[in-house]
């Protein structure tokens, strides 16, 4: 039984010209302890898919699915709010913009404490100890001091470490990392990705990594889903995908890797020629 099992998830939004479907019957499964990468160009529906699972899309969104199950329990029929209540402790998500995701009005320590209060029955002293332990885990220098800092007093990399600490606070079974490093500079990106990989390995949690970056996929993922224009184009284990990409879009993504670049212009994608119909 997969940890997360999502079948035929569709999402649409109202527009001036009627409903616009941004995700077409996409299915996702993740096993316990597995690292799944979801790749695809901007606007291909990667974030929308995971936000739909989490019940975090705005009320204007229409979400349908045959099944959204966590640990075998189907939660697709529940309201977004009830779904969050049920999976909130077991699935956490970190977002692209670390600074925007933290509340600017509260210290890092306060924001970590809120999560611990909500999801654990630790007393104040134990929560403080746990917060310090979490900051140590995410490699934060001067943890005692950083707990008292407000988001604007920290760098982007430090804010993202706080976000990761918050996400790890209740020891989730699944962490969804939605392009967790795009807002950071390159050396920090590497540190944050290494950190996520280490936490995944140490805790054995499952990880869904949303990224544009095939280099990150090669380093971290067990299995890869490639999306294009709101459709799942391809799904394979990471070695198969790199050795034998089935779709033109995947080949184009791979050829954009620095080691494969020819110095020529990027290839264009003949989407229609390669698209073989609705993917399972």
Ligand X SMILES: Nc1ncnc2c1ncn2[C@@H]1O[C@H](COP(=O)(O)OP(=O)(O)OP(=O)(O)O)[C@@H](O)[C@H]1O
Cβ–Cβ under 8 Å, residues 233 and 250: yes
* Nearest of 108, 165, 160, 157 to residue 135 by alpha carbon: 165
User: What residues numbered 33-62 form the site for ligand X, per CB under 6 A?
Assistant: 40, 42-48, 58
Distance CA 63, CA 197 (A): 31
- Count of C-beta atoms within a 10 Å radius of residue 35: 23
Question: Looking at residue 27, what DSSP letter applies?
Answer: E
> Smallest distance from the beta carbon of 140 to Mg ion, in angstroms?
26
State in angstroms the smallest separation of the CB of 45 from ligand X.
4
Residue 45 interacting partner from Mg ion, ligand X, none (CB closer than 5 to 8 Å by kind) = ligand X
Q: Which two tokens stand for residue 23?
A: 């995700």
Contact (Cβ atoms closer than 8 angstroms) between residue 39 and residue 226? yes
* Residue whose CB is less far from Mg ion, 23 or 69: 23
In angstroms, what is the minimal distance from the CB of 95 to ligand X?
10
- When asked if residue 98 is in the footprint of ligand X (CB under 6 A), the reply is no
Residue 113: HSE in the Cβ half-sphere, 13 Å Cα cutoff: 14
Residue 110's binding partner out of ligand X, Mg ion, none, with CB under 5 to 8 Å set by partner kind: none
Number of residues that bind ligand X (CB under 6 A): 11
Q: Write out the two tokens for 88.
A: 């909130």
To ligand X, the closest distance from the beta carbon of 86 in angstroms equals 23
Q: Report the partner that residue 187 touches, choosing among ligand X, Mg ion, none (CB closer than 5 to 8 A by kind).
A: none
Closer to ligand X by Cβ: residue 169 or 217: 217
Q: Report the residue from 12, 47, 158, 160 that binds Mg ion according to the rule CB under 5 A.
A: 47
The rounded distance, in Å, linking the Cα atoms of 124 and 19 is: 49
Is residue 22 at the binding interface for ligand X, with CB under 6 A as the rule?
yes
Rounded distance between C-alpha atoms, residue 119 and residue 189, angstroms? 29
SS3 of residue 190 by DSSP:
helix
Instruction: Determine the interface stretch with Mg ion among 45-53, 159-167, 214-222, 259-267 (rule: CB under 5 A).
Output: 45-53
CA atoms within 13 A on the CB side of 101: 24
- Angle, helices 80-87/46-54, rounded to nearest 10 degrees: 80
Q: Which option in Mg ion, ligand X, none does residue 12 bind, with CB closer than 5 to 8 A by kind?
A: none
| CA 32 to chain centroid | 15
Could you give the string, one character per residue 168-207, with x where binding to Mg ion holds by CB under 5 A and - elsewhere? ----------------------------------------
CB of 47 to ligand X, least distance (A): 3
Residues in region 52-111 near Mg ion by CB under 5 A: none
Using the minimum distance from each CB to ligand X, give the nearer residue, 43 or 267. Answer: 43
Instruction: Name the residues that contact ligand X, by CB under 6 A.
Output: 13, 22, 40, 42-48, 58
Instruction: Name the residues that contact Mg ion, by CB under 5 A.
Output: 47
């Amino acid at each position: 039984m997969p940890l997360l099992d999502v079948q035929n998830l569709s999402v649409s939004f109202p527009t001036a010209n009627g409903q616009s479907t941004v995700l077409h019957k996409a299915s996702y499964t993740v096993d316990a302890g597995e690292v799944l990468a979801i790749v695809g160009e901007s606007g291909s529906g990667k974030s929308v898919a995971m936000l739909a699972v989490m019940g975090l899309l705005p009320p204007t969104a229409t979400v349908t699915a045959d099944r959204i199950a966590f640990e075998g329990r189907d939660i697709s029929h529940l309201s977004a709010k009830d779904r969050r209540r049920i999976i909130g402790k077991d699935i956490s998500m970190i977002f692209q913009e670390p600074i925007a995701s933290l509340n600017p009005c509260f210290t890092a320590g306060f924001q970590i404490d809120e999560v611990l209060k909500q999801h654990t029955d630790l007393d104040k002293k134990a929560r403080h100890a746990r917060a310090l332990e979490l900051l140590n885990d995410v490699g934060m220098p001067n943890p005692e001091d950083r707990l008292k800092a407000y988001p604007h007093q920290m760098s982007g990399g430090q804010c993202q470490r706080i976000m990761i600490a918050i996400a790890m606070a209740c020891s989730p079974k699944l962490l969804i990392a939605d392009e967790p490093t795009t807002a950071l500079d390159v050396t920090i990106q590497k540190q944050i990705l290494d950190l996520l990989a280490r936490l995944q390995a140490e805790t054995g949690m499952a990880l869904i990594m949303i990224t544009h970056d095939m280099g990150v996929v090669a380093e971290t993922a067990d299995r890869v889903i490639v999306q294009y224009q709101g459709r799942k184009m391809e799904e394979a284990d990471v070695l198969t995908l790199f050795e034998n990409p089935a779709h033109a879009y995947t080949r184009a993504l791979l050829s954009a890797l620095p080691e494969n670049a020819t110095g020529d212009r990027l290839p264009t994608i003949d989407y229609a020629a390669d698209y073989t119909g609705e993917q399972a």
